[in-house]
Amino acid sequence: MKHIFQQGTSSDAPVLVLFHGTGGTERDLLPLAGIISPQSSVLSVRGNVLENGMPRFFRRLSEGVFDEEDLVLRTAELNDFLNEAAQTHGFNRGNLVAVGYSNGANIAGSLLFHHKDALRGAILHHPMVPRRGIDLPALDGVPVFIGAGRNDPLCPPEETEELERLLTEAGAQVTVHWEVSGHQLSASEIDAASAWYQRTFA
């Protein structure tokens, strides 16, 4: 998968794995990594799917309706890539914290839903529920931050609350930060995610 790897100054700090939103690239969230954990190594990945020329991490059938078969396939593909990248770049595969926005948050959430120990933790900005009606792997103690908007037209509050419940029932330690805004990623939400990260991992 097309990606950028930047070596950090601390080998003990979690490696931040960045997943952009629809139409983004592997460069979009690099500034966030610098705010959240300046000392961390960073692996920023570009989605392998194109929708009208816009990179995504998996196909969708329509707005808000995922192609579940493709989602499962792409999630496994991504998990395999993370295994390979750890070997290639020499980082600890068990020390990854995902940072995703929108479609990128959905693929990070899907890693949690489908692959045990895929991530040490996750920051999900405006995610949806990746899949329903499946048993999640044990997520005992895995810290997850969810940034959500009370007026988000793509991820209504009940979607966020359902995702929080599913992750919590699987054992994850979930923190939800609410903004009054919509689907955009605000400075105050980034600040809240950074503060949460420092409390959790620093």
Measure the CA angle with vertex 34, ends 16 and 15; round to 5°: 15
Based on the residue annotation, tell me whether 177 is a catalytic residue of this protein: no
Half-sphere exposure of 43 (CA within 13 A, CB side): 24
Based on the residue annotation, tell me whether 102 is a catalytic residue of this protein: yes
Selection from 159, 132, 72 nearest residue 107 by Cα = 72
Per annotation, catalytic residue among 70, 177, 183, 186:
183
Map residue 107 onto helix, strand or coil. Answer: helix
Which long-range contacts (C-beta less than 8 Å, at least 24 apart) are formed by 25-31?
25/55, 26/2, 28/101, 29/99, 29/101, 29/104, 30/4, 30/6
Based on the residue annotation, tell me whether 188 is a catalytic residue of this protein: no
Per annotation, catalytic residue among 102, 110, 125, 126:
102
Task: Tokens 């919509």: give the residue.
Answer: 182
| Active-site residue set | 102, 152, 183
